[in-house]
Chain A
Amino acid sequence: AQSVSQHNHHVILSEAASLELGCNYSYGGTVNLFWYVQYPGQHLQLLLKYFSGDPLVKGIKGFEAEFIKSKFSFNLRKPSVQWSDTAEYFCAVNPANNAGNMLTFGGGTRLMVKP
Chain B
Amino acid sequence: NAGVTQTPKFQVLKTGQSMTLQCAQDMNHNSMYWYRQDPGMGLRLIYYSASEGTTDKGEVPNGYNVSRLNKREFSLRLESAAPSQTSVYFCASIPRYPNTQYFGPGTRLLVL
A residues engaging B (CB < 8 A)?
4, 6, 9, 32, 34, 36, 42-46, 49, 51, 90, 92, 94, 96, 98-108
6 A-B pairs in the complex with CB atoms less than 8 angstroms apart: A51-B98, A94-B98, A103-B33, A103-B101, A108-B40, A108-B42
**CB contact between B48 and one of A6, A9, A100, A108 (< 8 Å): that residue:** A100
Chain A residue at smallest Cβ distance from B105: A43
Instruction: Check A42 against B97 for contact (C-beta < 8 Å).
Output: no
B residues engaging A (CB < 8 A)?
31, 33, 35, 40-45, 48, 50, 56, 58, 90, 92, 94, 97-101, 103-106
* CB of A65, distance to nearest CB on chain B (Å): 14
Query: Beyond A9-B40, A32-B98, A105-B42, is A99–B50 a contact (Cβ under 8 Å)?
Result: yes
The docked-state distance in angstroms from the alpha carbon of A96 to that of B98 is 8
The docked-state distance in angstroms from the alpha carbon of A103 to that of B45 is 8
Instruction: Check A100 against B42 for contact (C-beta < 8 Å).
Output: no
The docked-state distance in angstroms from the alpha carbon of A96 to that of B42 is 21
**CB contact between A101 and one of B42, B99, B104 (< 8 Å): that residue:** B99
* CB of B94, distance to nearest CB on chain A (Å): 5
With a CB–CB cut-off of 8 A, which chain A residues contact B90?
A: 43-44
Instruction: Check A44 against B103 for contact (C-beta < 8 Å).
Output: yes
Query: Beyond A90-B42, A107-B42, is A101–B31 a contact (Cβ under 8 Å)?
Result: yes
With a CB–CB cut-off of 8 A, which chain B residues contact A108?
A: 40, 42
Instruction: Check B44 against A105 for contact (C-beta < 8 Å).
Output: yes
